[in-house]
A and B are shown apart, each in its own frame.
Chain A
């Protein structure tokens, strides 16, 4: 049925910026402290207290905004968003309304699996704001009091609002993956969804074509409390189908009903409508008189831009271009982060075979990192050593299977390639020795020789098996070649 309608998705992402102190006071932003132990008169909104913004939060915001191609406003100010909630002690949230510090950017997304064509997702704005605290409600609401913890109150957040440019849950997922990777590369956030340092709200509706060809949009629904990217994907998949059914039943169009907010129930795998307060929409934004505006010069912007470093998209392109690996391989490596990328680059340069380097990084190095849950800097074998080993494979000195044994040894022993090879009794077998070995084999296997002559080439496999038994260091490929030559001559 998905060809009857087009899914239209826009995402609102809140990321916690990696500052030591809160946005407007000196309290720590560390996660997991005892309730209300990371608070002070300022972040609990005591009478007379005043906010003073930490420069770091603004700088991290700038970094991110530039990385997603946003325009930076030369003049930006701070506004109060006013609403009453127990986890908002001042009765307003300091945020940005009509003059966000950045706007009109974009993020390119692609799907290595090719489910959709590469495209750019527009970004409406990215602005800074303070987080609220946490309210804990009792299961059977009404029974017990709600408990309020203000540790999180005042933590710096960057809100990134996308255009409604995504046309499928898969695109939304790709946008989130790419954005998260970018934020991690930039070092502006740890993006830990479990700890709430990355939160996603989704706006979704459907575009259909009516009987007489007119374009129809269904009411926009905002989906909240999805606590993983997978959940976002599933919630969007669910919501698209639900909205299509609602459309078929009610025929409601955009504007017929007020914007609805629904919460995602991961266990039940469905969204539920949330009661919205009638006046909650009137936030009475106005410029916060306690904070002064910020002016940003083109020079400052350039300094930050130059310090961004090579970002995922550029890195992928470089790996594909310089080392001839596939987009898929480049994706896997870049997704591992800067350190794995530089390990790969060093390896590829040293062994001058990007493809081989990519295979070994993905199949051997990454597997070990995963099994031992270590990071690349803790990986015992340095690129130069691994390159030496790969060189021996390409020089025919050792086959891949034996090379893997060598690598395994090196990981535990921490010894070099040559040392490990001789420890394993791996020595180069010279040509004359090999020819002699092959002649023996042919002599003792007349049947095989006959079969090969008759054209049953794969029969030669038996010879290689025996060769390995006679001399484990014999290079199977070379053995095959020699045998074939000898058979042909005979």
Chain B
């Protein structure tokens, strides 16, 4: 199956990327080629196969519930593109 321009537009919203007209065209063609290639996996029989999400089989890794001092607010906000010394600031979020 091949990717439509509409699908790519929808995904670009999901991924919060703004694509120019030319990017959209190029992206559609390239993604279509790549998706076409990866679809060869369909021929592999995976009936009895458990998915493998991790490269190693670890489980039950925890830390003790101990609070330690937080990092100075100035240091945390230092990288913020827009802050008022107390809060991160973003353009008014209308409605919700």
A touching B, CB within 8 angstroms: yes
Stretch at the interface among B28-36, B40-48, B86-94: B86-94
What residues of A have a CB within 8 angstroms of the CB of B62 in the complex? 52-55, 58
List residues of B (71-96) whose CB comes within 8 Å of A's CBs.
Answer: 71, 73, 76-77, 79, 82, 84, 86-96
Q: Tell whether, in the assembled complex, residue A275 and residue B96 are in contact, meaning their CB atoms are under 8 Å apart.
A: yes
- Closest B residue to A89 by beta carbon equals B88
B13 to chain A, nearest CB (A): 6
Least distance between A138 CB and chain B CB atoms (Å): 6
Give the Cβ gap from A38 to chain B, nearest Cβ, in Å.
5
Q: Check B5 for interface membership: any CB of A closer than 8 A.
A: no
**Interface positions of B from 32 to 76, Cβ below 8 Å from A:** 53-54, 58-68, 70-71, 73, 76
B96 to chain A, nearest CB (A): 6
Q: Are A35 and B86 also in contact (CB < 8 A) when A44-B76, A289-B53, A294-B59 are? A: yes
Whether the Cβ atoms of B16 and A84 lie closer than 8 Å is yes
Contact (Cβ within 8 A) B54 A292? yes
Binds B, one of A7-15, A140-148, A454-462: A140-148
- A335 close to B (CB within 8 Å): no
Which residues of B have CB within 8 Å of A86? 88, 90, 93
Given contacts A135-B93, A275-B95, contact A293 B59 (CB under 8 A): yes
Which of these, B54, B73, B91, contacts A145 with CB under 8 Å? B91
Indicate if B14 sits at the interface (CB-CB under 8 A).
yes
Residues of A within 8 A of B91 (CB): 145-146
A64 located at the interface, meaning its Cβ lies under 8 Å from any Cβ of chain B in the complex: no
The minimal Cβ–Cβ distance linking A1 to chain B, given in whole angstroms, is 32
Bound CA span A84–B16, Å: 8
Contacts A21-B68, A44-B76, A294-B60 given: A146-B90 contact, CB under 8 Å?
Answer: yes
Alpha-carbon distance A284/B16, docked complex (angstroms): 14
Report chain A residues within 8 Å CB of B16: 84
**How near does chain B come to A48, taking the closest CB pair, in angstroms?**
13
Whether A29 contacts B71 by the Cβ 8 Å rule is: no
Contacts of B95 in A (CB 8 A): 141, 274-275
Is B54's CB under 8 angstroms from A55's CB? no
Q: Which of A28, A149, A282 contacts B87 (CB 8 A)?
A: A149
Measured between alpha carbons, how far is A399 from B54 in the docked complex, in Å?
A: 76
Residues 358 to 393 of chain A near chain B (Cβ within 8 Å): none
Q: Mark A125-165, 1 if CB is under 8 A from B, else 0.
A: 00000000001111001111111111000000000000000
> Known contacts being A39-B73, A39-B76, A293-B59, is A146 close to B64, with CB within 8 Å?
no
Report Cα–Cα, A56/B65, bound state, in Å. 6
**Centre residue among B82, B84, B95 by max chain A CB count within 10 A:** B95
Among residues 276 to 309 in chain A, which have CB atoms less than 8 Å away from a CB atom of chain B?
279, 282, 284, 286-287, 289, 291-295
What's the least CB distance linking A74 to chain B, in Å? Answer: 11
In the complex, how many angstroms separate the beta carbon of A156 from the nearest chain B beta carbon? 9
A173 nearest CB across to chain B (Å): 26
Most buried by A among B62, B91, B95: B62
Q: How far is the CA of A56 from the CA of B14 in the complex (A)?
A: 35
Q: Across the two chains, which residue of chain B brings its CB closest to A86?
A: B90
Chain B residue with the shortest CB-CB distance to A28: B67
Bound-state Cα–Cα, A28 to B62, Å? 17
Q: Does A36 contact B (CB under 8 A)?
A: yes
The answer to whether A19 has its CB under 8 Å from any CB of chain B is yes
Q: A20-B66, A55-B63, A274-B95 are in contact. Are A150 and B71 (CB under 8 A)?
A: no
In the bound assembly, the distance between CA atoms of A149 and B77 in angstroms comes to 11
Contact A36 B77 (CB under 8 A): yes
Given A56-B65, A145-B90, A279-B14, decide whether A40 and B76 contact each other with a Cβ distance below 8 A.
yes
Closest to B90 in A: A86
Partner of B92, one of A39, A143, A282, A292: A143
| Docked CA distance A293–B58 (Å) | 7
- In the complex, the answer to whether B14 meets A292 with C-beta atoms within 8 Å is no
- The minimal Cβ–Cβ distance linking B87 to chain A, given in whole angstroms, is 4
- Asked if A289 contacts B54 (CB within 8 A), the reply is yes
A282 to B15: give the CA distance in the assembly, Å: 11
Q: Are A29 and B94 in contact (CB under 8 A)?
A: no
| A149→B82 CA distance, assembly (Å) | 13
Cα distance, A26 to B16, chains bound together (Å): 31
User: 25 pairs across A/B with beta carbons < 8 Å?
Assistant: A21-B66, A21-B67, A27-B70, A28-B67, A35-B86, A35-B87, A36-B88, A38-B70, A39-B71, A46-B79, A52-B63, A53-B63, A54-B63, A55-B65, A135-B93, A141-B95, A142-B94, A145-B82, A147-B86, A148-B88, A148-B89, A275-B95, A275-B96, A279-B10, A287-B53
Q: Which 5 A-B pairs have the closest CB atoms?
A: A56-B65, A55-B62, A147-B87, A26-B68, A148-B88
Besides A275-B96, A293-B59, A294-B60, 7 other CB < 8 A contacts? A20-B67, A27-B70, A145-B89, A145-B91, A147-B86, A147-B89, A279-B10
